[in-house]
Structure 1
Amino acid sequence: MKKTVIATALLAVSASPVFAAAENYSIDTPGMHASVNFKINHLGYSWIVGRFNDFSGNFVFDEDNAANNSVDITVKTASIDTNHGERDRHIRSDDFLDVSKFPEATFKSTSVTKDDDEGEYVVKGDLTLHGVTKPVEFEIEQVGAGDDPWGGFRRGFEGEMEVKLADFGIDYDLGPAAATVYLEVHLEGVRK
Structure 2
Amino acid sequence: MNNTTNRGKVIIIVAPSGAGKTTLAKRLLKEHPSIRFSVSATTRPPREGEKNGEDYYFLTDEEFKRRIKKGHFLEWETYNGNRYGTLQSEVDKLVESGYFPLLDIEVKGALNVQKIYGSDAISIFIEPPSLEVLKNRLLNRGSETDASIKRRLERAEMEIEYAEDFDYTVTNDDLDTAYAEIQAIIEPFITD
- Greater Cα radius of gyration, structure 1 or 2: 1
Confirm or deny a common fold (TM above 0.5): no
The structure with the greater share of residues assigned to strand is 1
State the TM-score bracket (shorter-chain normalisation).
Answer: under 0.3
| TM-score, length-scaled by structure 2 | 0.27
The structure with the greater share of residues assigned to helix is 2
The structure whose RCO (Cα within 8 Å, separation 6+) is larger is 2
